[in-house]
Structure 1
Amino acid sequence: MAELLNLNRLAFFAAVIEAGSFTAAGDRLGVAKAVVSHQVGKLEEELGVTLLMRTTRRVRATEAGRFFYDRCAVILRDAESAFAETSRSAAVPTGTLTITAPVDYGAAVVAPAITLFMERYSHMRVEASFDDDVADLLAEPIDVAIRVGWLTDSGNQAQQLGTFAQHLVCSPAFARRLPPRLDPKTVEGLPWIANNALKTPLRWLFSRGEWEKTTIEARASVSADKTPTVHACVLAGAGVSVLPDFLVAGNIAAGRLVRLLPDWTLPAGGIHVVYPAARFRPAKVRLFVDLMKRLERARSRPEPRSSGLTASPPGRSPAPGRS
């Protein structure tokens, strides 16, 4: 088997041509003259040609040596350029950033983040895919995958960006038809819009304080396969459902949705960025993830509690949490 190409030997040879002697080349490279001579000699052995004519006073290239140097110079310049550009990409974002995220979180949070990122780094390009299907990071060229909910084990690397709360919501028109005081067992019998993207779309654990917990098993009047569809049905007044805060916070604040049982909480979920396994991250990835972290911190700052229909104290009923 042929020996692998040793680029260091090309650099030693080129240095001799450019400096004019083995001694000057050694000084330029910071190594002994004997090291330069040995490496050039090994290169000649590998090629089977004489590259340099050596005398006691000077060194000159043979015809083959001059031809080889002309080609080596191009290779070494390209290698130096590639190294510099790659090293620079670790500090300055370059190229195209590819992002995938769920449809609801992508539209509500990632799209504004992309806008801010492009305002600062206008030379960049971004390719975004908002899809609820989980992308295979080994099969697809994706820089950043954002996962919302509960992570499953994988060979990828994950980092938490933040968390999200879940709220039981309905439209104002629907809320006006409800009793003035509600509790979790009361809302269990309401018309529900089931989000079939979840493992248990109708089973929910409500908590109030440290010890008060109750689990409900609702019945669906409407079923939908995607969170944005559930959101649209709730806005239209078709029933109640549980939706993530990043999707409904604006509508609650604007009065387009009502949060039911505001004194009760539902299990919170995680927001993670997932990458293919790698030792180093390019600047474009690090800077975008840092931006997402800042946005998540700002989004999760405590706000004054929104108005909603109140709840009367239910009986205590410990139950397992949502999977």
Structure 2
Amino acid sequence: MRTVTLPVAYMPLVDAAPLIVAREIGFDHAEGVSLDLRPAPSWSSLRDMLAFGHVDAAHLLSPIGWLANSANVARKLADFQQIVVASPDLVEQLGRPDHPERLAAFPFVEHRALPNPLSWKFSKATGETCDVKMNPALRADVTPAIKVMAIEGAGISILPDFFAKREIENGTLIRLVRDWALPTGGIYAVYPPTQFRSAATKRFAEMFAERLRSSLA
């Protein structure tokens, strides 16, 4: 298989671990891509590296969820569902709520990166809706840390379904109020507003979309 080199800018944070692990283990070469990872000293530097063509791709936190208006070009790769989860120990201690309004009595792990992290609107297939104001017990702005807090029983949390799938399957987390839904979000590939995209960039986006479809199946 022909391998193409993809220069990728990233912030040296825990969130960039999938890229680093993929390169070290060789997942990138298995997909015909060679990741050339280039650390950035700040988010603004990372943005500029991408905007000025110093790299073909960049690791960003913004393309999951709800995109703000910008001049960039976005391609939706997949949808995800937000779900409420809790540890088995917390459910045993406080009970299993049968309605979203009961969630307000539970300690909540707040995701501070969201615009309204404590206010949530639930809906049912029948058209019924319920607005809930959560009771924050802990706060964080990194999703992996929030999941760990939920697993350890620090409180209930709201996570993307694909990010909690394995824990729900092995019983580490329990999904609550299954009959109610939260607004769906999107996972996007975001490109600078340029007509040219390298073959490596296109292949990386395709590889990522394939992995997403597999993980969401």
TM-score in same-fold range (> 0.5): yes
Deviation, structure 1 residue 197: 1.1
Q: State whether structure 2 residue 51 is matched by structure 1 residue 141.
A: no
Q: Deviations over 1:214-234 (max 9, x none)?
A: 110112111223222211211
C-alpha spacing 1:138/1:181, structure 2 compared with 1 (3 Å): closer
Tell me the equivalent position of 2:4. Answer: 94
- Does the 8 Å CA contact 1:102/1:148 hold for their aligned counterparts? no
After superposition, the Cα gap between the structure-2 partners of 1:120 and 1:225, relative to the gap in structure 1 and judged at 3 Å, is closer
Q: TM-score, normalised by structure 2?
A: 0.82
SS at match of 1:126: strand
Listed as ranges, the matches of 1:45-84 within 5 Å are none
Distance 1:153 1:193, change over 3 A: same
Query: Which deviates more from structure 2 when the two are superposed, residues 112-121 or residues 263-272?
Result: 112-121
Aligned partners of 1:132, 1:170: CA distance in 2, in Å?
34
Structure 1 residues 240-291: Cα deviation after superposition (integer angstroms, max 9, x where no partner):
1111122211111111111111111111111111112221221111111111
Post-superposition shift, 1:130? 10
Between the aligned partners of 1:129 and 1:211, the Cα distance in structure 2 is: 47
| Count of residues paired in the alignment | 208
Alignment check: 8 A CA contact 1:105 1:247 kept: no
Matches within 5 A, 1:1-323: 94-98=4-8, 100=10, 107=17, 115-121=26-32, 124-127=34-37, 135-136=46-47, 137-138=50-51, 141-145=54-58, 147-301=63-217
- Counterpart for residue 304 of structure 1: none
More helix by share: 1
Change (3 A) 1:191 1:286: same
Quick check: 2:111–2:146 contact (8 Å CA) kept in 1?
Answer: yes
- C-alpha separation between the residues in 2 aligned to 1:283 and 1:173? 49
Q: Which has the higher contact order (CA 8 A, sep 6+)?
A: 2
Partner of 1:204, secondary structure, is: strand
Cα gap change, 1:247 to 1:113, in 2 (>3 Å): same
Structure 2 unaligned residues grouped into runs of 5+ = none
Residues of 1 paired with 2:82 and 2:130: CA distance? 16
State the distance in 2 between where 1:240 and 1:128 align: 36
| Percent of paired sites with the same residue | 29
Structure with bigger strand share is 2
Deviation, structure 1 residue 156: 1.6
Per-residue deviation, 1:207: 1.2
Q: Partners in 2 of 1:190 and 1:118 — Cα distance?
A: 45
CA contact (8 A) 1:150 1:269 kept: yes
Q: Deviations over 1:107-127 (max 9, x none)?
A: 56x6677653322437x3431
Alpha-carbon distance between aligned partners in 2 of 1:217 and 1:97, rounded to the nearest angstrom? 43
SS of match in other structure, 2:4:
coil
Give the structure with higher Rg (CA): 1
